[in-house]
Structure 1
Amino acid sequence: MRLLRPFPALLALVFAFTWMSLSSPGSAAPAYEPPRGSQERRDILNALRPLVEARLNPPVEFVVNYMQVSSGWAFLHVSPQRPGGAQIDLRTTTFSEDADYMDGAETYALLRYQYDRWNIVDYAIGPTDVFWQGDPLYQTLPAGVAPR
């Protein structure tokens, strides 16, 4: 029976190690780009679509320049365009007065998977700088999700 006595302590140690490794930021699953045609990729882009179409007028297609996902977070950089590849003229959108000061329709978004769907946490359309640099929220993301 003496051999069984250390078992609870060993079990507690294994549990503690597992909990610490799962909860530490460095232990998040590696970031990846969902494959073209995958449901996950469609879900992420479709979560962004209503916001972009409200600002740029529908219909909008996305050219994905960057998409990384890890541990329920997704960061994207997309180039919205009209179906068939036509460029969006910002002067015909809600950005008509700011079009000259923007970097086109380039769109960046941070999304979080919660409540059984992807939700927009932060976004920028046409930024002229790397707006996420220095924002404390982005420092908490799993490695590889947002560009450095």
Structure 2
Amino acid sequence: MAARAHDVAAIALRGTRAAELNFPDSPSALPRARTASPEDIRLTAAQAAELYRPPTTPPTTPPPPLALPDPQECTSGATSTAGRPAVFVDEDAIFDMPGLIDDMARGMLLTPPAMGRGLDWAATPTFLCISESNFKPPA
């Protein structure tokens, strides 16, 4: 709404071509001020803001709470929605989770492997000698 009011005032003060509009694709849809007086521009900007006010919706009532199933139905036997019995898969037993977690904890206690033996940092070159004669100007 305020952006539309700004556009109306900008058009009234600078004209359609020179005004920097928030909505440059719709200057013809905006109302025009009759004169360049500040009161007339304010009135027209307020009218434009009211034209583009979003519709107010009445407050909605919260939805009713969901109905919980009867506890007797839950204990009568686990079946899926298709009528087949539900199957329980023990993933802890499949992946041996207690043993896996123990192995991970033991792995954290190990020292990391040493760097390769025989590597001498002093023997490695630390710079390259590059002369200007090696460079050719681009063609």
Question: Is the helix fraction higher in 1 or 2?
Answer: 2
Q: Is TM > 0.5 for Structure 1 vs Structure 2?
A: no
TM bracket, shorter-chain basis: under 0.3
Larger-gyration structure (1/2): 2
Structure 1-normalised TM-score?
0.17
- Per residue, is there more strand in 1 or in 2? 1
What's the TM-score, normalizing by structure 2? 0.18
Choose between structure 1 and 2 for higher RCO, CA contacts under 8 A separated by at least 6 residues: 1
